Amino acid sequence: ASKAIDSGYAELDGWLAWSYLQLGEQQSSTGSDTAADTFRRALAYAERAARRERARDKNAYHMALRLALVQYRSQHLSLRERLTAGKNTVQAIVDRTGTKDQPAAWALRGWGHYGLGGEENVDTSLQDFQKVVNDIGDAEDHPWSLWADFSRECLAAIKKWRSLEEKSVEFTDASM
């Protein structure tokens, strides 16, 4: 049936990817043996959607952002594989299009860097999240305000963990 679908239907593949991702998450939560296959299908549909969208418009990136989300959430892969794949997908979008005005791309890239850890990655994630917050501001009616809220939460979490890392506790008594 999928061969009969016109190559211009990236949106349908994107919807199928999202549906399979949600099904895979549900299967994974119940311990189903088929979850890994379902996640692989979600990734395949998301990849095809991104390819089709790019074939139609070389500057388009919405389906590639969806691919990054599917990569981040595909639980059949290790956490490092998921974060690396998603971050690399978003980085390719940023490199190709610039997406200076695309808060979702910066927030998703920030999430990938933050999850991978390391001082340099965390610094990059802070910059990405702060860019989203600065670009959108406090406007609740902004179409991308969800990404600003997400970025604010991530910034707060990172700053909290960094402040905990800087604290030192001295023990003067050998007994507890």
CA separation for the pair 139, 64 (Å, rounded): 26
Chunked in runs of 10, what are the mean pLDDT values of the chain (176 residues)? 55 92 94 93 95 89 91 92 93 81 87 88 92 87 86 91 70 66
* Nearest residue to 110 via CA among 96, 92, 86, 129: 129
Q: Which pLDDT score, from 0 to 100, does residue 3 have?
A: 47
pLDDT tens digits along 120-139: 888 999 999 999 999 888 87
Q: Which pLDDT score, from 0 to 100, does residue 153 have?
A: 93
* Nearest residue to 162 via CA among 112, 125, 108: 125
CA separation for the pair 169, 171 (Å, rounded): 7
Q: Which pLDDT score, from 0 to 100, does residue 29 have?
A: 92
